[in-house]
């Protein structure tokens, strides 16, 4: 028994030691870690969605002044501890052997880091469309083509090919020069449109950035040449109400070339048709006459109606002429009917009763 008792006590002692050790460790640990319960005068405001808490308590100015860093670090730790405590209260989930807390939706509205972007300025067309109330129509990307029996994209891949297949033949319009290549004309027109659109795009950009783009003349004074300056002078001179008619000119001053399109009527240098032989001129004149005479006449409704009325009027008198004798015959048959408009004259009617004798009064 004694033996076993000793044994027991040995065991007990071992266990005691272990407990003591653990307790000692615990005490040590307790000294190392601070408590999870934090006392606060005022409750903190939590926004767990954005992992935010706001401490509205007053700072302890005494401690703060003594050791600022230490005080702030402690305060932060306490507050973070409170936040963590709140998070532990949230419902949890197990995802891949890891415990995860489900955060509610954030309630606090964070201010923007950057300012709100301004709305894009409207392009010239958009402005116009807005003014006029023009709304963009949604076009479908594909449209059915009756001729090709195929769906044709509005733009992009296979569009050009489809058009090529569709319009392999162009009718030469009336008055057009038969030798002119209508396909080349069409492609020219297309490139022209594209270029125009590009120009308008650039102009819109310039407008939004508030850059002034001169139509012509001195574009950049640093790099402008004598030619540019001359053009600028010519344009400036012609920019009066009387198209520069009364503007004086310096001796030996020359007009700039190639700006006639934007300064119509300004140039004193009028284009003269080159002298040609009279035969050629006659041919040219005849061509011009043909052009004028071959012009497709517009359908003039009024004129057509007038013509119709005129024809009807011409027809009517003929009809009435042919029907007149008939009417006359009828009238004769009837004799002095009540419908005749003539007044009966005296002395022509037949008398009833006595024709002669003395008058009785």
Partner 1 sequence: MKRLSEERTKILFEKLSKYIGANVKLLIERPDGLYCFREQKDRVYYMSEKIFKLASTLPPTQLVSAGTCFGKFTKTNKFRLHITALAYLAPYAQCKIWLKPSAEQQFLYGNHVAKSGLGRISENAEKYSGVLVYNMADLPLGFGVCARSMSECKLSDPLATICFHQADIGEYIRSEDDLL
- Of the residues 57, 151, 289, 331, which one makes contact with partner 1 according to CB under 8 A: 289
> Rounded to whole angstroms, how far apart are CA atoms 198 and 189?
14
Decide whether 236 or 243 has the Cβ nearer to partner 1: 243
Shortest distance, position 122 Cβ to partner 1, whole Å: 37
- Of the residues 98, 99, 250, 292, which one makes contact with partner 1 according to CB under 8 A: 292
- Of the residues 69, 146, 222, 302, which one makes contact with partner 1 according to CB under 8 A: 302
Decide whether 317 or 357 has the Cβ nearer to partner 1: 317
Are 34 and 82 in contact by the 8 Å Cβ rule? The answer is no
Rounded (5°) CA angle 85-90-95: 115
> Rounded to whole angstroms, how far apart are CA atoms 265 and 244?
9
Does 88 bind partner 1 (CB under 8 A)? Our answer is no
Count of residues that interact with partner 1, criterion CB under 8 A = 24
> Rounded to whole angstroms, how far apart are CA atoms 178 and 184?
13
Shortest distance, position 238 Cβ to partner 1, whole Å: 17
- Of the residues 30, 57, 306, 320, which one makes contact with partner 1 according to CB under 8 A: 306
Residue 85 has phi, psi (to 5 degrees) of -55, -45
Contacts of 151 (CB under 8 A, 6+ apart): 142, 143, 144, 145
Decide whether 76 or 311 has the Cβ nearer to partner 1: 311
Does 297 bind partner 1 (CB under 8 A)? Our answer is no
> Rounded to whole angstroms, how far apart are CA atoms 54 and 48?
11
Does 310 bind partner 1 (CB under 8 A)? Our answer is yes
Burial class from Cβ neighbours inside 10 Å (0-12, 13-18, 19+) for residue 204 reads middle
Does 320 bind partner 1 (CB under 8 A)? Our answer is no
Contacting positions for partner 1 (CB under 8 A): 271-273, 275-276, 278-279, 281-282, 284-286, 288-289, 291-293, 302-303, 306-307, 309-310, 313
């Amino acid at each position: 028994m004694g033996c076993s008792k000793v044994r027991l006590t040995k065991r007990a002692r071992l266990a005691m030691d272990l407990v003591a050790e653990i307790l000692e460790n615990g005490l040590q640990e307790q000294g190392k870690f601070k408590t999870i319960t934090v006392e606060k005068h005022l409750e903190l405001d939590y926004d767990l969605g954005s992992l935010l808490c706001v401490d509205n308590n007053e700072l302890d100015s005494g401690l703060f002044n003594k050791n600022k860093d230490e005080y702030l670090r402690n305060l932060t730790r306490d507050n973070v501890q409170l936040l963590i405590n709140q998070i532990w209260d949230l419902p949890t989930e197990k995802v891949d052997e890891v415990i995860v807390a489900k955060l509610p939706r954030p309630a606090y509205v964070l201010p923007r880091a950057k300012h709100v972007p301004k709305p894009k300025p409207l392009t010239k067309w958009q402005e116009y469309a807005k003014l006029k109330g023009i709304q963009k129509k949604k076009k479908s990307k594909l449209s059915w083509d009756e001729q090709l029996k195929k769906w044709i994209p509005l733009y992009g891949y296979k569009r050009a090919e489809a058009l090529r297949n569709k319009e392999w033949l162009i009718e030469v319009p009336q008055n057009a020069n038969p030798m002119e290549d209508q396909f080349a004309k069409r492609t020219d027109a297309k490139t022209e449109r594209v270029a125009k659109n590009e120009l308008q795009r650039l102009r819109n950009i310039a407008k939004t950035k508030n850059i002034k783009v001169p139509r012509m003349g001195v574009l950049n004074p640093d790099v402008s040449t004598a030619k540019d300056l001359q053009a600028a002078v010519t344009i400036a001179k012609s920019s009066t109400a009387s198209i520069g008619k009364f503007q004086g000119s310096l001796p030996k001053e020359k007009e700039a070339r190639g700006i006639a399109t934007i300064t119509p009527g300004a140039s004193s240098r009028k284009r003269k048709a080159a002298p040609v032989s009279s035969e050629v001129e006659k041919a040219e004149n005849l061509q011009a006459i043909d052009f004028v005479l071959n012009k497709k006449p517009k359908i003039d409704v009024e004129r057509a109606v007038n013509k119709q009325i005129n024809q009807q009027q011409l027809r009517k008198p003929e009809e009435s002429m042919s029907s007149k004798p008939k009417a006359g015959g009828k009238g004769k048959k009837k004799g002095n009917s009540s419908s005749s408009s003539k007044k009966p004259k005296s002395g022509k009617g037949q008398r009833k009763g006595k024709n002669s004798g003395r008058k009785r009064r």
